[in-house]
Amino acid sequence: MSEINGKVVAITGASSGIGAATARLLAKQGARLVLGARRDDRLADLVAELGGDAVHVRTDVTRREDLRALVALAQERFGRLDVLVSNAGAGPISPLDDLRVDEWDEMVDVNIKGVLHGIAAALPVFREQQAGHFVTTASTAAFTVVPGMAVYAGTKVAVRAICEGLRQESNGVFRVTTVFPGFVHTDFAEASSNPGLRARISAMRDEIAIPPDAIARAVAFAIEQPADVDVNEVVVRPAAQA
């Protein structure tokens, strides 16, 4: 029997890509799912597909109250929350010279503040339960900065630091895992408003990207470990990625 069976897992950014792939994999392993994303229609379709122990609520991670509602739904429906997968992300990448300041703000609000809002909502629950698991999707951009991705990489560096600090403050009560995907076959490139950069990233994606399932398996691996084993950082990227 999988260690995942019966666990209550909330996932943000669950309507597509890595989030949806993770939901599907964990559902197969018996998890009870609470799914959140801004695209409520896609969430409804996914919950209908999964059936059984899956519910959803529209979730914009830039809104503190939405994260509180996501965690509250888990408690109301299933009586607890075992894992929070903070997967929602924004990546409208562009060179700094483009001065797309609104897009910089969006990345900070979603990628950094969104993670913090999830921590604020789930941390008191995990402390009260004396158990829990934070799983956060970051990016290999946390390790390597390339032109056009300075702000995006900055947000992922920040996420790595926040999650490491959270781990150190856990005192063994809860677990903390950060997953760092490389090129994954999602619609990430489409978010860029810079045509040249969008074309370059799309071409690299089509050439070397791995499927979202690869990241979902890494998330499942971390969750399924015994309670005294904390998998802290997992890097998953295409074998062909430099």
Tokens 């995990």 correspond to what residue?
126
- Phi-psi group of 3: left, alpha or beta (phi > 0 → left; psi -120 to 50 → alpha; rest → beta): alpha
Kindly give the confidence (pLDDT) of every residue in the chain, 242 residues in length, as a single tens digit, with 9 standing for 90 and above.
579 999 999 999 999 999 999 999 999 999 999 999 999 999 999 999 998 799 999 999 999 999 999 999 999 999 999 999 999 999 999 999 999 999 999 999 999 999 999 999 999 999 999 999 999 999 999 999 999 999 999 999 999 999 999 999 999 999 999 999 999 999 887 888 899 999 998 998 899 999 999 999 999 999 999 999 999 999 999 999 98
Query: What is the per-residue pLDDT for 28?
Result: 95
Residue 140 resides in a domain: yes
Residue 230 resides in a domain: yes
Global confidence as pTM: 0.96
Q: Which residues are annotated as catalytic?
A: 152
Residue 74 resides in a domain: yes
Residue 2 resides in a domain: no
CATH number at 115 reads: 3.40.50.720
Residue 1 resides in a domain: no
Residue 119 resides in a domain: yes
Give the residue numbers spanning the domain of 186: 8-236
Residue 3 resides in a domain: no
Contact yes or no for 3/226 (Cβ under 8 A): yes
- Alpha carbons within 13 angstroms on the beta-carbon side of residue 135 total 31
Task: Tally the domains of the chain.
Answer: 1
DSSP 138-196: --GGGT---TT-HHHHHHHHHHHHHHHHHHHHSTTSSEEEEEEE-SBSSSGGGG---HH
Tokens 């999602």 correspond to what residue?
186
